[in-house]
Structures are given as C-alpha cells and as structure tokens.
Amino acid sequence: MSKIISLCEPYIDNFELTAVNKTIKTGWISSSGPNISLFEDQIKKITKSKYVVGCVNGSSALLISLNLLTNSRKGDIIIPSLSFISSVNSIIHNGCNPFFVDSNENFNIDENKLKVFLENHTFKKNNTTFNNFTKKPILGVLVTHMWGNSCNMEKIIKICKPFNLNIIEDAAESLGSFVKIKKKYTHTGTLGKIGCLSFNGNKIITTGGGGALLTNDFNLYKKAKLMIDHFKIDNYNYKYSDVGYNFKINNICATIGIAQLKKLNYILSKKRKIFKFYKEALNNIDGIKLLNNPVYSNSNNWMNVITIDKKKLKFQLIKL
C-alpha cells in the first residue's frame, strides 16, 4: 500500500493537549478569550511588527488586507505568476484584477521584470500609476515569499516607490524567515504596508486554522480589528459602523498557537537540519538541483524544492 507523504506534518504532543484542555475548562472557547491577545503579542515579539491581528486563517487575512489597501477602489493588483489561490481570490473578491508578473529562479516575483513592466508599460495620471494594457489604475503589489524564501524586498520597495505602489506581503509560508534590508535582517511580512501569516496545519507552526495580519500602521490596524468583528462598535447594544466579517481567531486556536510558538526555535533548527541533509545528499547528482536560500534571505526552510533536468539524469524517475 502506498503512503502519502505529508506536505509538512504538524509537531504536536501532550504540551498542546494539556494547554487546550485547560482552556476548555475556562469556558473561553470561541472568538473571545485572553489567549487571543497573548498569541498576537507573541507574534509581535517574533516579527517585530507594531500591530498584529489574529484571523481565522491566512486567506481571511489576505482578504482583509486587500480591502484595506484598495479602500473600495477598483483596479489592478500586481501579483507573481507563482502563488497560492488565496492571493488571487482575495484580489477578485475585492472587485480588482490580478495582473501577473513572471517569477524568477527562486520562484518569487522577478523584481527585474517588475521594474521593466512599471518603467515601460505604465503611465501616471493625478499621481496614480495606470496599466497601459488594461488602462486601469494599479492599486498595489502583492508579493509571495515562496517556500519560506523571501523575495528581494529591498529591490522591490525601491522599484515600487516612484510609482506610489503599496506592497502587501503574503508571508503565509515564512514565519521565522528574515530578509536583509540595508545589511539588517528583518522578518518577512513587516516591510510592506501589510503582511499576512498562515497557521494552517501544514505551516511552520499551526493553530489548526488561523492566520495573522501584520502592520506598522495604527489606522490600518484599528480598521482591521473592527472589520474582522463585523465592524461592531458597541458590544452591549450591538451597533455596527460598516459591513464587516466574522474573521476573528478563536481562543482554542490561539492556545494551540501559544504552545506551538514555544517550540518555534526547535522546529526551525530541525528544518535547517533537513535542508542540510538534502543539500548534502543531492549535491553530486547530475540533473537534480536543490533550491538554495537567496543571499538576501535567512529562510525558515519550510519546504525543500528541487528542479529536475531530465537530459542530465542518469536514472529513470518513478511515475506514480
């Protein structure tokens, strides 16, 4: 019988079980409870983001982020050709259009092609950048840090600045990953206007279901907190100021997250060892190349990726 190899198995033991049992006994099992803010505070410490909003999953964090960025405007959002469907869905759900730019050899957005596109295929009107192909305003750039390897954020920020383009970072796979900016390593998800993390079952740490929105902008943080809670402005009289969502992370998931974060350094060290093992094992095999960390990225090594050149292979690959 064949066995499916998991994408990334969660590291869960009695530590999480004890913590969850304790939380259940308190009665705080839904979208209110003390562990939500505690979990957000711990993510703040790790990422050095000024503000963190815990969400029901990474997809909801992306959806909220695009809503905050576009502010109900319609237009194009630049996105890499390789990403997860949540990134595209978040754009479309907000009434905008994904406009794809090719990915590079690291499977991240190709900053050189982004530069060529913006310099040669856009025009400005009233301080807004428009797409020559679609004639629509470009409302921002949504980059994805693939496999835990960060994009070249220093270059991307420099490229986007003259065109007044805000950046959202899809950092779903990159908790514990850092990118070099001005010779200093900064956590992914904290360099754009907004960053998004995922704590799905297959990520570096898991909360079962959960995500987080990161920002250094207080006004965006304040609005995001309202938006994920139906825009409720009066808890006792149930008054609302706008149309919102039920996107708050629950207290049990936050409890699992707190327990998981205590293991983060251990998990990252194990990931480094796995990467080193593959690197040594595959180093001298013609036709197989392991994706290395870019020089500007201190990766969490979430996923080990290989590229295959069939012409150089001296053996037959197994067909499933």
CATH code of 153's domain = 3.40.640.10
In single-letter form, the type of residue at position 63 comes to: L
User: 155 to each of 110, 111, 173, how far by Cα in Å?
Assistant: 10, 7, 21
> How would you classify the pairing of strands 239-240 and 194-198?
unpaired
Whether residue 60 is found in the same domain as residue 38: yes
The pLDDT value recorded for residue 81 is 96
Distance between CA atoms of 233 and 238, rounded to whole angstroms?
Answer: 8
Whether residue 34 is found in the same domain as residue 144: yes
The verdict on residue 6 lying in a domain is no
pLDDT in tens for each of the 320 residues of the chain? Answer: 556 667 778 889 999 999 999 999 999 999 999 999 999 999 999 999 999 999 999 999 999 999 999 998 999 999 999 999 999 999 999 999 999 999 999 999 999 999 999 999 999 999 999 999 999 999 999 999 999 999 999 999 999 999 999 999 999 999 999 999 988 999 999 999 999 999 999 999 999 999 999 999 999 999 999 999 999 999 889 999 999 999 999 999 999 999 999 999 999 999 999 999 999 999 889 999 999 999 999 999 999 999 988 888 877 766 65
The pLDDT value recorded for residue 253 is 97
Residue 301: domain span: 265-308
Nearest-CA neighbor of 220 among 256, 177, 182, 168?
168
176 in Cβ contact with 269 (< 8 Å): no
The verdict on residue 7 lying in a domain is no
